[in-house]
Amino acid sequence: MTFTEHLNELRVRLVRCVIAAFVGFLACYAFAEDLFKILMKPLMDLLLPTGGALIYTGLPEAFFTHLKVAAIAGLFVASPYIFYQLWMFIAPGLYEGERKYMIPIALCSALCFVTGALFGYFIVFPFGFQFFLGYASDFIKPMPSVKEYFSFSTSMLFAFGFIFELPLFMFFLAVMGMVTHVSLRKFRKFAILASFVVAAILTPPDVVSQCLMAGPLCILYEIGIWVAYVFGKKPKEPVAEEEEAPAKG
């Protein structure tokens, strides 16, 4: 394929992704109110016993938040198809034996993405919000806005969704022969350092949230090493040449 053909292929794939995301948005908009309540639940479970509540300062803020919730939910619903389109864009540059992994990789990509988001929702959110609300006192009352909470929660969900793609990304590199389990083990200490750096960038500036992201990243890296060991290309063993004894006259 020429460069222009690659650009045209990318355009087609992106248009399909946008259409899939829009269809997912339409499907989820009917449940926007319920999805909104589910998204707010981790914080509301901590706010309601103290008499706190979420607020919105602009008249259309709640309405647009419901639209955004439906759009985000639509992305998650359409994620298997979106990941499939993205991986199929890469497929022409692979060998025939590597293309057979495309559909399983697309499905696993969506599964890992959703699993990471669920981990953030059920594990990280309760601990993180409890830590932040622990600074409330008689003089300081937490009254987060709907817009702020939505922005914070969705960014965290996407962050955890993407970091859970790490073992799959390492699997892809191992299958292509770009990395091996030996090289991944060699750079383990640098990966651990990078995990904490990435966690410090993607999470709020508190130790709890950073550790809750860096810890899974380190575990996922170890899982990726074993995935590379099982599925990675094995180095070719040198063929031993048989030594023939010289004939004695």
Q: Quick: pLDDT tens for 192-232.
A: 999 999 998 888 777 878 888 999 999 999 999 999 999 88
Q: What is the pLDDT of residue 192?
A: 93
Alpha-carbon span 176 to 90, nearest angstrom = 12
Q: What is the mean pLDDT of residues 19-45?
A: 94
The terminus-to-terminus CA distance of the chain in angstroms comes to 64
Alpha-carbon distance of 62 to 54, in angstroms, equals 11
pLDDT, position 235: 59
Two tokens, residue 90: 């890469």
- Tell me, what's the pLDDT at 236? 59
Closest CA to 117 of 85, 148, 89, 75: 75
pLDDT exceeds cutoff 60 at 241: no
DSSP state of 59: T
Contacts of 22 (CB under 8 A, 6+ apart): 74
Q: Half-sphere exposure (CA, 13 Å, Cβ side) for 119?
A: 21
Q: State the DSSP H helix or E strand holding residue 7, giving kind and residue range, or none if neither.
A: helix 3-29
Q: Which residues contact 55 (CB under 8 A, 6 or more apart)?
A: 143, 144, 145, 146
Helices (H), 120-206: 125-133, 146-163, 166-175, 181-186, 188-202
Task: Please report where in the chains the tokens 């939505």 appear, as a residue.
Answer: 150
Nearest in space to 184 (alpha carbons), one of 225, 147, 153, 144 = 225
C-alpha closest to that of 86 among 157, 159, 18: 18
Name the amino acid, one letter, at 49: P
The model's pTM:
0.85
Q: What percent of the chain has pLDDT over 70?
A: 93
CA 222 to chain centre: 17
User: Over 70: is that where the pLDDT of 89 sits?
Assistant: yes
